[in-house]
A and B are shown apart, each in its own frame.
Chain A
Amino acid sequence: MGPLVMGAVAYDPKVVTIWDGFREWFAGRDFAFDYVLYSNYERQVEALLAGHVDVAWNSPLAWVRAARMGRGDVRSVAMRDSDCDLTSVVVVRADSGIETVADLDGRTVAVGAVDSPQATLIPLSHLGSLGVGSGDVVVQYHDVGVGKHGDHIGGERDAARALMAGAADAACMIDGNHLLFGVEGTLPVGSTRILAQTPPYDHCNFTVATGAPAELVDRFVALLLDMSYDDPDVRPLLDLEGLKAWREGRTSGYAQLERAVEEVGFYDGAGSVTARGYRP
């Protein structure tokens, strides 16, 4: 029986190392597993719904689209511990004089790629909920790796650099990248101030569609949950993929992104791409 075929997006060369490694680890447990790489999440979601792959390692935005295309008939079966409860922050220069979100009116807000949930869609929606809609500010996109849903950190780093260079008045990024950019010196310590922080939301998940072989999916999930960070064979792979443990999937953390997608019309109700100027 099998193999279980998973789709993943090649946002970085390490993706091959990661999934080759997991493939070998699964094989050592008599589980036939293979993977297919896509250059962008839109094609991966379409392949999942067309039944070309059994499971897709989806970005949160890809999950939202899959849920729309599958009319709710898709499941999130597993995710990383690090996919749970992220927040994004809107950052200004400490000496900018911008004290409240309202002060951003008419100013330039640097964001990540047009399809980045964490550096564009969710923080802009959050600003809107605080009374500063995308029509009230100049949105400056940093389109690195369009189609990869912000997996590439480059867009966020470029937004942070634009902030420090004075080319933007605010920048949006994940909380963890604000910490990282401080440590690496992109945002020198003390040079920025956090103006707003979104409520927690969830990131990637393994998505399956109806028709996926249930027994294989169950075994896949059981093996994922069985991976231990104490296992020296799997630890380097977990480090590369950025997690300490896999968790069962949940869908409670995607409401903010759903709302953002709706607000900007990124997808229509059936999951067709309707975002203007989005060319994955």
Chain B
Amino acid sequence: MTAPAASPPVAIDLEDLGLDQGGHLLLKRALASVGVGARVEVRGRAPELAVHVRAWCRAHGHGFEWPYVVRGPAEGAPRRGAEPAGGAKTVVDRAPATWGLAARGALVEPGGPAFAFPLDEKQAVWTEAAAGIYRQAVASQWDPATAVDWDAPFELPDEVEAAVVQVMTYLVENENAALVVPARFLTRIHPHFREVVGVLAVQVADEARHVEVFTRRAELRGAPMGLSSAGGQASLLTLVEEPDFALAHFMLSVLGEGTFLSLLSFLERFAPDPVTRQVTHLALADEARHVAFGMAHLESVLASDPGLRPKLATAVHRRHDVLAHTAGLNAEVFDALVVLAAGAFTPAAIAAGFTRVQALEADMDEGRRRRLVKLGFSAEEAAELAELHTRNFM
């Protein structure tokens, strides 16, 4: 039998470095290399070294036997018993409240506060597509100041300019709803699901830009803002007040923003001026991404919870019933769309504009049905639900 070999004594030379200049980092590192109760010799030329090492040891639970420091047991306590908040690449099924705001994969010291993030289940919020959509969203950001040629020359008859302003007025309030709804859920989703939080955060920023550019187009020629109708706001209120994430996401992104894809594409195509064309083009690309995320999220949730499908249908019925007494789309908006697409106040132009708006409505309905079928609804169910969608479009 041989006696265990004695560990070589550990010494640390701080040279001229004082503990009031960061010297504790070298000392801590040396102490970490020895066991509890073992000694580290401290050398150095800083004039107050012994005074400061004594004080530092007392505050950190180490013994002081100058020129030695005896390692105490307290060092590293916050890491002992700490729990990893998932893995850097592992998304857990349910994120505990005590992980709080910690980075995914971080070691979380026990004893911290519990955060109330009600949306803490992967099944309710997650889609594997989130990371890709987030990357795409970040890469597609545009600057309203430079992405739009605000000085592009154009002349419009006053009535057509007024129609554009009315449509912009309508778009702004709808974009406000599309900003508020994800913002409300953003604060309720556990930060562990950071890709989802990231997508929603960028979505909120997207909508802020849309509000800006539509407002700026409306104000471009100094015409007064249009009408905000009671029926339109009532429709948006039902979106803003929906407490369930999946239902709100379904009605906002799949049905509402989905419908807006048709509308924005229509506005881009028939825009009577270059600024209107540019702002609707920019918003259209963002909205297409929002719809893609809404679809991906709902497809994921439905894959694990098919029972959600009838709830989605019920939500559409309920919203329709709530809004049954309202006027639906602002008549001024409908007329404005016709004038905008007509471009002039002649019978022939108005007839063309009217036909185009009818085609738009058919296109919206077809798009809604297509997305509903993609979410697993039968063609009949999809047709019925698409028909019941709010007459406000959003």
Q: Report A's interface with B, CB cutoff 8 A.
A: 81-82, 84-87, 89, 174-176, 178-179, 182-183, 189, 193-194, 197, 229-230, 232-233, 235-236, 242-245
- B17-74: which have CB < 8 Å to A? 18-21, 47-48, 51-52, 54-56, 58-61, 64, 72-74
Residues B52 and A175 in contact, CB atoms below 8 Å apart: yes
Residues B58 and A85 in contact, CB atoms below 8 Å apart: yes
Give bound CA distance, A233 to B55, whole Å.
26
Residues B61 and A245 in contact, CB atoms below 8 Å apart: yes
- B71-87: which have CB < 8 Å to A? 72-74, 77-78, 80-81
Decide: A229 near B48, CB < 8 A? Known: A182-B18, A245-B61. Answer: no
Q: Which residue of B lies closest to A236 (CB)?
A: B111
Given contacts A182-B18, A230-B73, 4 further A-B contacts (CB under 8 A): A197-B51, A232-B111, A243-B61, A244-B73
A-B contact pairs, 25 of them (CB 8 A): A82-B59, A85-B64, A86-B58, A87-B54, A89-B51, A175-B51, A175-B54, A176-B59, A178-B48, A179-B20, A179-B51, A182-B20, A182-B52, A189-B18, A189-B21, A193-B47, A194-B47, A229-B77, A230-B73, A232-B111, A236-B111, A242-B59, A244-B60, A244-B72, A244-B74
- Interface contacts (Cβ under 8 Å), in number, total 71
Decide: A194 near B59, CB < 8 A? Known: A183-B20, A232-B81. Answer: no
Give bound CA distance, A178 to B77, whole Å.
26
Q: Which residues on the A side are within 8 Å of B111 (C-beta)?
A: 232-233, 235-236
Shortest Cβ gap from A80 to chain B (Å) = 9
Q: Report B's interface with A, CB cutoff 8 A.
A: 18-21, 47-48, 51-52, 54-56, 58-61, 64, 72-74, 77-78, 80-81, 109-111
Give bound CA distance, A235 to B61, whole Å.
13
Shortest Cβ gap from A173 to chain B (Å) = 10
Residues B74 and A245 in contact, CB atoms below 8 Å apart: yes
Shortest Cβ gap from A229 to chain B (Å) = 4
Q: Which residues on the A side are within 8 Å of B18 (C-beta)?
A: 182, 189
Q: Which residues on the B side are within 8 Å of A182 (C-beta)?
A: 18, 20, 52
Residues B80 and A230 in contact, CB atoms below 8 Å apart: yes
Residues B55 and A175 in contact, CB atoms below 8 Å apart: yes
Q: Which residues on the B side are within 8 Å of A194 (C-beta)?
A: 47-48, 51
Q: Which residue of B lies closest to A175 (CB)?
A: B55
Q: Which residues on the B side are within 8 Å of A189 (C-beta)?
A: 18, 20-21
Q: Which residues on the B side are within 8 Å of A175 (C-beta)?
A: 51-52, 54-55
